[in-house]
Amino acid sequence: MLLEFLKENFTIHGYQVTTFTNPREGVEYLQDNAVDLVLTDVKMNEMTGDEVLSHVTEHYSEVGVIMMTSFGNIAHAVRAIQKGAFDYVTKPFKAKEILSRINRYFESASSLNNRQKIDVIAKDKASKSEERNVVSKKEIIEDNNKEFIGSDPNIQILLNILPQIAASTAPVMIHGESGTGKEVFANLIHQSSDRSDKPYIKISCANLPRELVESTLFGHIKGSYTGAISDKKGAFEEANEGTILLDEITEIDIEIQAKLLRVLQEKEFHRVGSQKPIQSDVRVIATSNRNIAKAIADGQFRKDLYYRLNVFPISIPPLRKRRGDIPLLVDYFIKRYTRKYGLKPKKITDDLKDFLMSKKWDGNIRELENKIHRGVILSGNSDVINMDHVEKNFFAQVDLDISEEILSDLPLISIEDMELQLIKKALEHTNGNQKEAAKILGITDRTIRNKIKKAFPNEEP
């Protein structure tokens, strides 16, 4: 049952969980309890997800909403976001996926409001009456103590110039493969600057629905488009006098890039639907894991925007080019997670060390951290982490060829149904990002939209 899955998943990660099997009881619960986040399905009996969203946005404007939707409701969920939902997640989803959505909300909410609680409203799919439940009150411990670890000469150069970069207000462009620590370095820049007590807003450009990019960045006024039921500030307005991190900026549509350029050049912007300029005192830090020269040559990224951002060009090397830092990182992650779980100090065996030093590390530091995290947990009360703790054979070895992963478990079905299954799996893998899903499948995002529309003709756009 989805209810039990959510309850167990959130409890393991520190949430205090309260559940309801009737959506109206869940809404009534909101009246007398401090709620930060609502997780709700779209289709339910007693109340629909749209009704829950409307109720929350009207009566509890400070509360976030995340929608859960089946494959056929993707367009509907996008409309829900336009009406005020923070995010949506397609079912079925994995534990780490729903947690990443919750964490992303927390990061955003913490940046904007310094909130300390998250409440989630969800739906139990296995319930006969298709009703909802509420998961409430999680005390959050925010990790603001992440460090940029390394003795490699290239890392030391970055750390040495960090104070000068932080002291200015000039834009910064950080380039590096996924998992190298771009976001950690960006956070250090902000924390080391004289804006450290001001807002720090992080925007994941790759995960923004294309229809909402402009509104997310610059805000909108009531009535500017269908679903704009009230005025809304954008990230640049919320980040005034502080810093905004545009993570994976090369994923933003070329049309929006022109407006970003204007913000950088003229220090002002307009909300969607408004002609009134808003002054912007925001320091911009951007990251990308793409080949920017190729993106520019392919017409996917503006050259003038790149030059405007590239005042401080930072390149973070992949882990395979700084292998001498692996022992330092291993020790750092062991200490982090033994403290987190209240375990005694641990060391790794020599054969595990040799394995870690020789590994290719396509996932870079993030991959190494995940392995050490796993090793700390599975080694339990032992003071040694060995190969079995890190490379247990019951953990599926994920094939990094995503296309092969998507194709791996499809049954024998019609070509048309197979196309829909492929699209569904690609969308699940990209958290609903149609543009990224199209890249994986080698088609256009328009093709994805057309096939969804054809398969679900009665679905509202």
- The strand ranges marked E within 106-184 are 117-123, 132-139, 172-175
Given CATH 3.20.20.150, say whether it is the number of domain 2-139.
Answer: no
pLDDT digits 0-9 by tens, 355-399: 999 999 988 998 999 899 889 988 888 999 999 888 764 444 433
pLDDT on residue 242: 94
Q: What is the pLDDT of residue 303?
A: 94
pTM over 0.85: no
The partner residues of 175 in beta bridges, in order of sequence, read 288, 315
In the chain, % of residues over pLDDT 90:
32
Query: What is the average pLDDT across 88-102?
Result: 75
The continuous run of DSSP H or E covering 312 comes out as: strand 312-315
Which CATH number is 319-390 given? 1.10.8.60
Confidence of residue 15 (pLDDT cuts 50, 70, 90): low
The strand ranges marked E within 124-232 are 132-139, 172-175, 200-204
Q: Which residue has the higher pLDDT, 14 or 339?
A: 339
Residues 71/424, Cβ–Cβ less than 8 Å: yes
Whether 2-139 shares its CATH topology with 319-390 is answered: no
Q: What six digits make up the tokens of 336?
A: 């982090």
402-455 has CATH 1.10.10 classification: yes
The CATH number of domain 153-315 is 3.20.20.60: no
Sorted by where each begins, the domain ranges of the chain are 2-139, 153-315, 319-390, 402-455
Question: Quick check: 79 pLDDT over 60?
Answer: yes
Phi-psi group of 223: left, alpha or beta (phi > 0 → left; psi -120 to 50 → alpha; rest → beta): left
In this structure, what is the dihedral angle of CA atoms 174, 180, 185, 186, given to the nearest 10 degrees? 50
Banded pLDDT at 268 (limits 50, 70, 90):
very high
E strands, 330-455, in order = 347-348, 384-385
